[in-house]
């Protein structure tokens, strides 16, 4: 019985953090059991917003795949590959860009939000405006049926579906119309209570050593109204409590009760969280280090994934070229 195909990816703009772990990676590991999964290092997408940063995309991409493997993705179950190693993505993107109305890209809510949020970056570019078209190519070139996303990304999937319908109307049917595979993402703030983001420097990274994790946990924002240990706390305004809810489900109710009663202090609460985080991150960090030290083996895994992705992508492009009479 054929499994449905899933496509997702991450941009290599830096090391992965706890937000990536609970927001995507844990779900990716589960999906690879039930579906045929393709996971992509979206290095071309990284250029769209970070071209001025001159990132070492090859190095960052390799580190990301090492982290994927460290959290439980398996090359025998998932195709792990680098976007730029599969040139068919760019070919299909070019073709789709010829038929996608400009207004479809301009109405994309994420485009409008990022133009506002990233005022310090010059992203009023052709490439950034058209990144949803490249994203559509990434998905449909593998005939992917499902794309795991949060509810805020639904407009991206709908735009992809519109592009597919337009191509089919003009040239004939070949692609699948992908569906969103909605995933609930636990709310995990950064160390300072804001959204966890590399640009805010408020992340706990999967590669952080124990000493660094301890420093970061100790710096976390707790209940500002709580001065003494015996003061009654308000867990709902505490970043540490937000982490307990995600990483310490066994004890979180008891911690909440004791906090509100003033029988557990913030220091003790942080110690409990620190132990939980180290239990989770130590094996990931060690596996990551081991993989990066065995560089040849890691390169072989990546190249094997690239080959598998290229094979599937080329099969699709042969049919696309035939439909638009480019052979």
Residue 193 clears pLDDT 90, i.e. is over it: no
**Rounded to the nearest 5°, which phi and psi values hold at 73?**
-70, 140
**Is pLDDT of 144 > 60?**
yes
Q: What percent of the chain has pLDDT over 90?
A: 76
Average pLDDT value for residue range 269-283: 97
5-39 pLDDT, tens digit each: 999 999 999 999 999 999 999 999 999 999 999 99
Question: What does pLDDT average to over the chain?
Answer: 93
The residues spanned by each domain of the chain are 5-188+295-323, 208-288
Q: What is the pLDDT of residue 1?
A: 56
Architecture in CATH for domain 208-288 = Orthogonal Bundle (1.10)
What are the CA-CA distances from residue 99 to residues 105, 115, 166, 322 (Å)? Answer: 12, 24, 8, 17
Residue 80 has pLDDT above 60, yes or no: yes
- Which residue has tokens 């301009």? 106
Which residue's structure tokens are 């982290």?
67
Q: What is the 3-state secondary structure (H, E, C) of 106-165?
A: HCCHHHHHHHHHCCCCCCCCHHHHCHHHHHHHHHHCCCCCEEEECHHHHHHHHHHHHHHH
Contacts of 259 (CB under 8 A, 6+ apart): 233, 235, 238, 241, 269
Using the 8-state DSSP alphabet, how is residue 23 labeled? I
Residue with tokens 């070492």: 56
Class of domain 5-188+295-323: alpha beta
Q: What is the Cα–Cα distance from 314 to 308, expressed in whole angstroms? A: 10
């Amino acid at each position: 019985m054929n499994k449905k195909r899933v496509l997702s990816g991450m941009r290599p703009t830096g090391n992965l953090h706890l937000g990536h772990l609970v927001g995507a990676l844990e779900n990716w590991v589960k999906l690879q059991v039930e579906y045929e999964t393709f996971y992509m290092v979206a290095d071309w997408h990284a250029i769209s917003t970070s071209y001025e940063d001159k990132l070492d995309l090859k190095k960052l991409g390799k580190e990301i795949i090492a982290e994927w493997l460290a959290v439980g993705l398996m090359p025998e179950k998932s195709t792990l590959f680098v976007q730029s190693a599969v040139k068919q993505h760019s070919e299909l993107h070019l073709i789709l860009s010829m038929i996608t109305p400009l207004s479809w890209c301009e109405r994309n809510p994420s485009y409008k939000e990022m133009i506002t949020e990233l005022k310090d970056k010059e992203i009023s570019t052709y490439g950034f405006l058209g990144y949803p078209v490249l994203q559509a190519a990434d998905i449909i070139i593998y005939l992917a049926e499902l794309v795991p996303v949060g509810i805020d990304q639904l407009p991206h999937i709908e735009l992809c579906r519109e592009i597919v319908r337009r191509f089919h109307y003009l040239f004939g049917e070949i692609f699948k119309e992908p569906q969103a595979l909605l995933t609930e993402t636990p709310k995990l703030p950064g160390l300072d209570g804001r959204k966890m983001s590399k640009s805010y420097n408020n992340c706990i990274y999967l590669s952080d050593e124990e000493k660094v994790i301890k420093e970061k946990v100790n710096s976390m924002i707790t209940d500002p109204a709580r001065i003494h240990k015996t003061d009654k706390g308000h867990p709902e305004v505490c970043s540490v409590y937000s982490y307990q809810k995600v990483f310490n489900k066994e004890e979180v109710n008891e911690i909440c009760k004791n906090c509100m009663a003033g029988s557990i202090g913030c220091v003790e609460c942080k110690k409990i969280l620190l132990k939980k985080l180290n239990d989770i991150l130590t094996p990931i960090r060690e596996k990551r280090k081991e993989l990066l030290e065995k560089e040849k083996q890691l390169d072989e895994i990546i190249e094997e994934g690239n080959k598998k992705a290229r094979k599937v992508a080329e099969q699709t492009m042969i049919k696309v070229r035939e439909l638009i009479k480019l052979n």
